[in-house]
Amino acid sequence: MKRVLGMIVMFAGTLYGADISLPQHFEADFKQRVTNPKKQVIKYEGHVLFSQKNRLKWLYTAPSRKEVCTDGKEILVVDHDLEQVSAYRIGKGFDMANILAHAKPYRDNIYLTTYEGKQYTVKLDRKGRLESIAYYDDLDNKVQIVFEKMHYGTKRLSAKRMQCNYPADYDMIRG
């Protein structure tokens, strides 16, 4: 769970550095690769939605089906395989402006930023769109997220579309 929370906070934060310009919303497919210190790799893939500065929705399709939604204050994780929903308040919240206030171009569309003592690398494509993010999580896992089929938009995504969806009979866990 720390990996998911870290990813959400980091990702939302990387969107608003002075030199990184993003629209009001975007959608993309993603591939995430997590490599632990023993070089074991777990691969994830799915679709991500971003809207309104702090709303994110990750739709994982492999290796298992999950939805992860956040509004910057709470995170909801829906595990469809376990038929379980976990809801967590994000203790510190996140200040996106603070996260990337010091983002600096490194070289050729690569930016570096530090947040809470961790360094994040953000790469943009030739058109200035988000291409990938890499960082080390709290468990010293190397995390890399690569975005494909990026679609930028100028209108907000509806609140309904940004919500996690699950049947009423799923178990609910509040943390």
pLDDT digits (tens, 9 = 90+) for 56-73: 899 999 999 999 998 878
Q: CA-to-CA distance for 71 and 137, rounded, in angstroms?
A: 21
DSSP codes, the chain: -HHHHHHHHHHHHGGG-TT----SEEEEEEEEEEE-TT--EEEEEEEEEEETTTEEEEEEEESS-EEEEE-SSEEEEEETTTTEEEEEE-SS---HHHHHTT-EEEETTEEEEEETTEEEEEEE-TTS-EEEEEEE-TTS-EEEEEEEEEEEESSPPPHHHHS----TTSEEEE-
CATH number at residue 20: 2.50.20.10
Residue with the larger pLDDT of the pair 119 and 62: 62
pLDDT score at 97: 39
pLDDT score at 85: 97
Q: CA-to-CA distance for 11 and 56, rounded, in angstroms?
A: 9
> For the residues 14-41, what does the mean pLDDT come to?
79
Domain with 82 in it = 2-174
Number of domains in the chain: 1
Mean pLDDT of the chain: 82
- Does pTM top 0.75 for this prediction? yes
> For the residues 45-52, what does the mean pLDDT come to?
90
Please report how many Cα atoms fall inside a 13 Å half-sphere around the Cα of residue 120, on the Cβ side: 27
pLDDT at 101 over 70: no
